[in-house]
Amino acid sequence: MKIGLVAGEASGDLLGAGLMRAIKARIPDATFEGVAGPSMLAAGCVQWEQAEALAVFGLIEPLTEIPRLLKLRRGLLRRWKASPPDVFVGIDAPDFNFGLEKALRKAGIRTVHYVSPSVWAWRPGRVKTVKKAADRVLCILPFEKAIYDEHGVDAVFVGHPKASTLPIDIDIESVRELLDLGDGPVVAVLPGSRRGEVSRLGAMFASAAAILAQTHTGIRFVTPVASPGLRPMIEEQLASAGMSDRFCLIDGDSIEAMSAADVVLLASGTAALESALLGKPTVAAYKVAGLTAVILRLFNLLKTDKFTLPNLLTEEALIPEFIQEQATPQALAQAVAELLDDPARREEIGMQFATLRTQLALGADDRAADAVIELAG
């Protein structure tokens, strides 16, 4: 069996690698080819292009990349039409993958889209696009399948891979000792993994930390630096806020940083769900580029009043959210302080997040592999 794959970003690369391993456990001679990151490459994918080639974001920012992305998509389509895979799996990267999936499906190749786009949050009309592009959608959130069922789209809820792989029993004291964080309260600060996010949120988070340092004796902060290129910007932001000596910067390991924390302050995204699955009380903020925000509001593209995944999955919104103008150092510091000062509330939140984890920990890699193999016939 030959499987074509296109993964975007590091998260898609990890999903792809888990899917590949599960498929190979069932079909040892299965082969894989396409757009892959280092994890998929290590799992045995023949890499035609690196996954980071698709790492463009926002509504306005990607416009300059359109010619390059269209050329890449045409090249992939030519290769797979000439030598068709038994099934194609587009992993996330919907704006790139849907066009490719639609063309491959038209050419008679079975297509799977792994990870539904956020049709429940914005641009709900994309359900029609999905229906044209994918023979099957693999959903990682429980409420997504019902949306596709209503539109006659074959959808399978596989669970969330992170819920099965993140550590459950965390020795917090050992992690803090390893990072030399001391005995006081600890806040993990994650300003994002992309330059645009860090430029919009990093200084604000540093200022919020400075406010907290004035009211909480011995408080320390730990920040995972997502990539080496972001370190100079983060260091400059901390220096400007006078907080360099209160922060421990580590390279990339967001799970380690969050594991050490009493409370997590982060840029809303994948990290918010990871924090919840680790059982950590969390405060989230997000700011998009100014023009992107105008377009979202002008055309009423945002269809939900919640923007962190955990808040969409739990009966009570457990994560204080601050978006655009609401996100200020004072508001963030107050929200974090309220959690730091209320151990009972932190324990209650941790228990509710543990229940959420159980609901999502279904063995996504295996369920996704079964769904792909079944479709391939």
Question: What are the backbone angles phi and psi of residue 83, rounded to the nearest 5°?
Answer: -140, 80
User: Of the given ranges (29-38, 153-162, 237-246, 280-289), which has the lowest mean pLDDT?
Assistant: 280-289
Which tokens belong to 28?
């040892």
Query: 32-63 pLDDT, tens per residue?
Result: 999 999 999 999 999 999 988 886 654 445 56
Return the SS3 of 34.
Answer: strand
Which tokens belong to 292?
């992107």
Which tokens belong to 91?
């992993």
pLDDT at 295 over 50: no
User: Which CATH architecture does the domain made up of 172-360 adopt?
Assistant: 3-Layer(aba) Sandwich (3.40)
Looking at residue 278, its pLDDT comes to 97
CATH code of 2-159+362-376, in short, is: 3.40.50.2000
Residue 126, exposed/middle/buried by CB under 10 A (0-12, 13-18, 19+)? middle
Residues forming a β-bridge with 284: 266, 321
Return the SS3 of 90.
Answer: strand
The Cα 299–Cα 123 span in angstroms is: 10
Determine how many CB atoms are found less than 10 A away from the CB of residue 164: 17
Residues 6+ apart with CB under 8 A from 153: 127, 130, 131, 134, 137
Of 74, 305, 335, 98, nearest to 211 (Cα)?
A: 335
Looking at residue 10, its pLDDT comes to 80
What is the band of 120 on the pLDDT scale with cuts at 50, 70, 90?
Answer: low
Looking at residue 196, its pLDDT comes to 85
Residues 6+ apart with CB under 8 A from 292: 58, 59, 60, 61
With beta carbons less than 8 A apart as the criterion, state whether 338 and 185 touch: no
CATH 3.40.50.2000 placement within the chain: 2-159+362-376, 172-360
Better-scored residue on pLDDT, 176 or 301 = 176
For the entire predicted model, the pTM comes to 0.81
pLDDT at 234 over 50: yes
- The number of residues making up the chain comes to 377
Sheet holding 45-50, edge to edge: 45-50, 31-36, 2-7, 87-91, 111-114, 136-139, 155-157
Looking at residue 133, its pLDDT comes to 97
Mean pLDDT confidence for 287-316: 66
